[in-house]
Amino acid sequence: MKITLEKVDKYVAMVTIDNQSCLNAMTRNMMRELGAAWDELEADDTRCIIVTGAGERGFCVGADLSGDLSASEEMATIVNHSLLKCDSYSKPIISAVNGDCIGGGLELLLSTDIRGCVSSARFGLPEVKWSVYPFGGATLKLVEQIGYVHAMDLLLTGELIDAKRSMELDLVNEIFESHEELMSWALKKAGTIARNGPKAVQAVKKQVSDTISAHVQSRELLEQRLGEDVRASDDFKEGVAAFLEKRKPSY
């Protein structure tokens, strides 16, 4: 269970989420590591970042619900930073979605700029099925990115969609039949961006990122209050128990 950061080119970095037995779900410690990776890359000479998951089954399926589910202001900051929920960030990020992109994984996707996926990938926000509030920014970013009715469909039903539908909704730019094709595309796209003027590229990204960040930060207090109300409910206890016991919840 780890976050791997490597330079694949002088100016291109690869961030890999690695917890393959759980479809790359992230523990709290992995979220800390991911946040640290973003900080390191923001500060160095990297010009473009690729984020992907280890293996060929999962990009990331969000938080590891079998681990620590305690809530605190410090943990909220760690989760938010790992997903770049409220951050203004200057380095372009390409998502190479190598498998299921669900829950917090999809919320991480929403903080990236250009996205490709394999044809077997699935996307969704199933949190409401387990009476969990989607803390990672989906309620704020998804409407802006794919439109109101499509966003609400994903948020309220908790159903998963396939790669073809995700492209129809503009969640991703490209679909590839193999993992090799996906990574080749991501590396080529990152190389193209890295060859452009870095000051101009980062200024463009910063302006867009600042605008999104200001909107998300303006709603963060309500977001945390709503999430805590859900967390304090009996529904939350039943939903998490049902998830861990691999059964349908009874609300």
Structure tokens at 134: 């989607």
Q: Which residues of 181-204 are buried (b: 16+ CB within 10 A; e: fewer)?
A: ebbebbbebbeebbeeebeebbee
Instruction: Tell me how far CA of residue 204 lies from CA of 91, 105, 218, 251, in angstroms.
Output: 10, 25, 22, 46
Structure tokens at 24: 């790359």
Q: Which residues are catalytic?
A: 107, 127
Beta strand pairing call for 100-102 and 114-118: unpaired
Radius of gyration of the chain (CA): 17
The gap from C-alpha 58 to its chain's centroid, in whole angstroms, comes to 12
Q: Which residues contact 66 (CB under 8 A, 6 or more apart)?
A: 22, 244
Sign of CA dihedral 238, 85, 41, 36: negative
* Rounded distance between C-alpha atoms, residue 163 and residue 106, angstroms: 13
∠100-184-102 over CA atoms, to 5°? 10
Region at 26 (left for phi over 0; alpha for psi -120 to 50; beta for the rest):
beta
Type of residue found at 117: C
